[in-house]
Chains A and B, each alone.
Chain A
């Protein structure tokens, strides 16, 4: 029954494919190490408008990284705002509210007055409209 070499081969191939499939599933996309480091250092902060900003002096590398991330964020905002029948600005502002509240201690974020703040264990200073 199972001695047919072709069938055996097919069975093994199927099992191998299943194993590779379970291994290949990504846990979830992670931040690029350079981005994670710049966040942790406080070189990059979360702005109120839903985009990233450079806190101190901008280097070409930092600027390129922030521009790229912000462009990708805008693409996400644009697509989902359209699906939700909302404007890009309102969707981005909403995401900014959430991104600021999800900052970790030590990371930088923009307060409603426009100033950069370092996140403490206390709740961040956010726009009054934030959920």
Chain B
């Protein structure tokens, strides 16, 4: 409980560290839950999505027929337009 003072305290020449700390609980009441929620959300993402094995990409095998068919028309034009190097 705060003790009642009869006269206003004068401002000191320097900041009183103990008085600054008084403001902390109110600010932390806003900041801390947010921070905790963020940390929880982050840690949740990492644990849920952590891959068990490294992902290996085999480029040549990964090229699908679908992609080749999509590119075929443009590639044909590219060959026609650069007939000197094909």
Contacts and interface: CB of A to CB of B under 8 A. Distances in A.
Interface of A: 28-32, 69, 72-73, 76-77, 80-81, 83-84, 86-87, 89-91, 93-95, 97-99, 102, 128-131
Contact of B84 (A30, A93, A95): A30
Given A76-B78, A90-B71, A94-B71, A129 B63 contact: yes
A90 B72 CA distance: 10
B85 A76 contact: yes
7 contacts: A73-B85, A80-B74, A89-B60, A97-B75, A102-B79, A128-B65, A129-B64
Interface residues of B, number: 22
B44 interface: no
Interface of B: 59-60, 63-65, 67-72, 74-76, 78-80, 82-86
B78 A80 contact: yes
Interface of A, secondary structure class, is: helix
A130 B67 CA distance: 10
A114 to B, nearest CB: 12
A32 B68 contact: no
Contacts of B80: 28
Given A80-B78, A102-B79, A94 B85 contact: no
Given A80-B74, A84-B74, A90-B71, A95 B83 contact: no
B75 A98 contact: yes
Contact of A97 (B60, B68, B70, B74): B68
